[in-house]
Amino acid sequence: MLLKVSGECFSTAGTLASVTRQLKTARRLGVRIGVVVGGGNILRGRDASGIDRTVADRAGMVATTINGTRLAERLRQEGIKARHLCAFGIPGTVERYAIELARSELRSGTVLVLSGGTGNPFFSTDSAAALRAAELDMEIILKGTDVAGVYSADPDQDPEALLYRRLSYDRALAERLAVMDLTAFAFCMEQRIPIRVFDINRPRAIIDIIKGKQIGSHIC
């Protein structure tokens, strides 16, 4: 599985600790895992004002490497074999991502922590998750958010918004539902990569999904 976690996951020690414990359990269950990390808790390129967008996006990509370093170290402290790879690499800090290396590490049971987005400006970490999932033959993308799943409308604005438990790519695209950014979603649709959107703050959500429980929204 490819887990996508936003930078907000790193804002609270409790959430990060919970995710780390669940990844440890998932490895014990034999699941091969890659984790794409965001950097919005530090800097989100598209929100940086007064800076050229390409420069801001580069800074945002560097921000993801900080979170990647934190997660990889937390996993190692839990006794989990982890390897942090970055789209562009930072000598002396984090290795550069390569498909062959990543595939080899997955086969050996290493948890991959993937940072740096796609390595290109104008592409979100959602796009990075979609790309890495395709490159590494992942069976599913688990996208951790701060809501229960995909709704018919913004649940904070519309108290009657419906939570979709299961929906097709076509319906999600036609209704412009907030699954992930459109570039990433269109790629997942083309590659037929299922997506599960769920509340990352829900206790044991990752493990429950792995065990087949209906958590969040499933798009396929």
* CATH number of the domain encompassing residue 110: 3.40.1160.10
DSSP character at residue 76: H
**pTM greater than the 0.85 cutoff:** yes
The values of phi and psi at residue 180, to 5°, are -160, 180
> Taking a C-beta distance cutoff of 8 angstroms, is the pair 106, 34 a contact?
yes
Residue labelled with tokens 């970490």: 125
Q: What is the pLDDT of residue 90?
A: 92
Residue type, 31: V
Question: Which residues does the chain have with pLDDT short of 70?
Answer: none
pLDDT at residue 179 in the model = 87
Q: Parallel, antiparallel, or unpaired for β 141-145 and 195-199?
A: parallel
Which residues, at least 6 apart from 112, have a Cβ–Cβ distance to it below 8 Å?
Answer: 33, 34, 35, 82, 83, 85, 102, 105, 106, 136
- Quote the domain boundaries for residue 118: 2-219
State the pLDDT at residue 208: 98
Please tell me the predicted confidence (pLDDT) of residue 88: 95
What b/e readout covers 176-197, taking b as 16+ CB neighbours within 10 angstroms?
A: ebebbeeebbebbbeeebebbb
Domain count for the chain, please give it.
Answer: 1
Task: Identify the pLDDT of residue 178.
Answer: 81
